[in-house]
Amino acid sequence: MKRVIAAATMALVLSACTSAEESGSDSPPQLPRLDTEIEKPQMALADHMLGSYFASDIPMRPTVCIATSNGREEVALEQGWERELMARYPALAPFSRCEQRDGIWQDAKTGLPALMLSLHSFTCVSAASCSGVGEYKFGQTSSGISQYGLEWGGKRWIFTREDQLPGAE
């Protein structure tokens, strides 16, 4: 039964991350856009991914956290970045609220499965061209990775995304 619930939740997560045009109840407050700051491409990507997720119409969301990778495991974003994103997305929990137990992301307070948005392999070949990898992890299920490209369009970052599902080559 747990696998059925996890699979259904991941299907909802994946659909949420691809159709973000509608505004849900967890929409961010009206703050200045992060994609207009050329000096913060990684923050712009985090905002872009969180905006896609929270704009979706998912009922009864799990606890949602965001992290980056140090090459071995997920770690918290810089504290100022995490606070800024939490101000934009009130339903975003601090990284410390999510923990991995037996390979499963869980809410540290409730023990229920949590959704971890993980950003990693972020690099910039110039001040106007960057790339990074993002994935959503829920329980033991992963959305598969999405390779993001960011190009500075003169006034804001322009995002492209190429998805690779688990096991795909």
Choose between 143 and 127: higher pLDDT: 127
- Say if CB 43 and CB 75 are below 8 A apart: no
- Is pLDDT above 70 for 17? no
- At 116-138, the pLDDT tens digits run 999 999 999 999 999 999 999 99
Task: Return d(Cα 6, Cα 140) in angstroms, integer.
Answer: 8
- At 78-94, the pLDDT tens digits run 889 999 999 999 999 99
pTM: 0.78
Token reading at 142: 């992963």
Based on the number of CB atoms within 10 Å of its own CB, is 120 exposed (0-12), middle (13-18) or buried (19 or more)? middle
Which segment of 31-40, 61-70, 90-99, 150-159 scores lowest on mean pLDDT? Answer: 31-40
Choose between 56 and 29: higher pLDDT: 56
- At 96, the pLDDT band (50, 70, 90 cuts) reads very high
Q: What's the whole-number mean pLDDT along residues 127-154? A: 92
pLDDT at 12: 40
Task: Return d(Cα 85, Cα 2) in angstroms, integer.
Answer: 31
Cα R_g (the chain), whole angstroms: 15
- Say if CB 132 and CB 151 are below 8 A apart: no
- The amino acid occupying position 162 is E
Task: Return d(Cα 75, Cα 88) in angstroms, integer.
Answer: 20
**Residue 130 three-state SS:** strand
- Say if CB 89 and CB 54 are below 8 A apart: yes
Domain boundaries, the chain: 2-20+35-119+134-145
- Say if CB 140 and CB 2 are below 8 A apart: no
